[in-house]
């Protein structure tokens, strides 16, 4: 398992916490920024992490902004990305099991540091269930190809 991680300024501290957890779990991590709490635009980091996932440099991605919402919106504009905002272990697990999310978006301002390890473990260890969910993911893939 390899992980790409990125944040904006609002998610910087939680990103650093997650990097420490990944290191403790011996999971390789590519940090794609931000490098500090200086103001930064979250779409840039969403694009970088999504690119790493799509290129195969990372198996999963983690994006951190104030709420996770902006990061998920930006990442989901990129075909092939299924970014889910997660807020607890159950949402992280279901994002993988039912939606085959390849990126977890989480809020630095809305997530307690003490909850992060369980959320992270759920996201990284849960496998996609397939089956009845395959048809739904196929419909999402069709939406990505529609001209609007």
Domains of the chain from N-terminus onward: 3-145 (3.40.1400.10)
Q: Is 146 exposed, middle or buried (0-12, 13-18, 19+ CB in 10 A)?
A: exposed
Q: Where are the alpha helices (DSSP H) in the chain?
A: 12-24, 42-55, 69-75, 89-97, 116-125, 132-145
Q: Which of 9, 13, 29, 98 is catalytic?
A: 98
Structure token pair of residue 147 = 């001209």
Model pTM score: 0.96
Classify residue 9 by its DSSP letter. G
Q: Which of 9, 29, 65, 133 is catalytic?
A: 65
d(CA 61, CA 114): 20
Spatial contact of 19 and 5, defined as CB atoms under 8 Å apart: yes
What confidence tens digit (pLDDT) does each residue in 92-139 have?
999 999 999 999 999 999 999 899 999 999 999 999 999 999 999 999
When pLDDT is averaged across residues 64-89 and rounded to a whole number, the result is 98
Confidence of residue 145 (pLDDT cuts 50, 70, 90): confident
What confidence tens digit (pLDDT) does each residue in 12-56 have?
999 999 999 999 999 999 999 999 999 999 999 999 999 999 999
d(CA 11, CA 45): 11
d(CA 100, CA 56): 16
When pLDDT is averaged across residues 48-74 and rounded to a whole number, the result is 98
d(CA 135, CA 138): 5
Q: Establish whether 98 is a catalytic residue.
A: yes
Classify residue 10 by its DSSP letter. G
């Amino acid at each position: 398992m390899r992980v790409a991680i990125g944040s904006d300024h609002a998610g910087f501290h939680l990103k650093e916490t997650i990097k420490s957890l990944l290191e403790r779990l011996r999971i390789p991590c590519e940090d794609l920024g931000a490098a500090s709490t200086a103001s930064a635009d979250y779409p840039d980091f969403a694009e970088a992490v999504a690119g790493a996932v799509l290129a195969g440099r990372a198996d999963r991605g983690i994006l951190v902004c104030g709420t996770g919402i902006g990061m998920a919106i930006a990442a989901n504009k990129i075909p092939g990305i299924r970014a889910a905002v997660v807020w607890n272990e159950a949402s992280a697990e279901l994002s993988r099991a039912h939606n085959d999310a390849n990126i977890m978006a989480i809020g630095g301002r809305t997530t307690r540091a003490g909850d992060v390890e369980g959320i992270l473990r759920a996201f990284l260890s849960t496998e996609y269930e397939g089956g009845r969910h395959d048809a739904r993911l196929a419909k999402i893939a069709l939406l990505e190809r529609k001209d609007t």
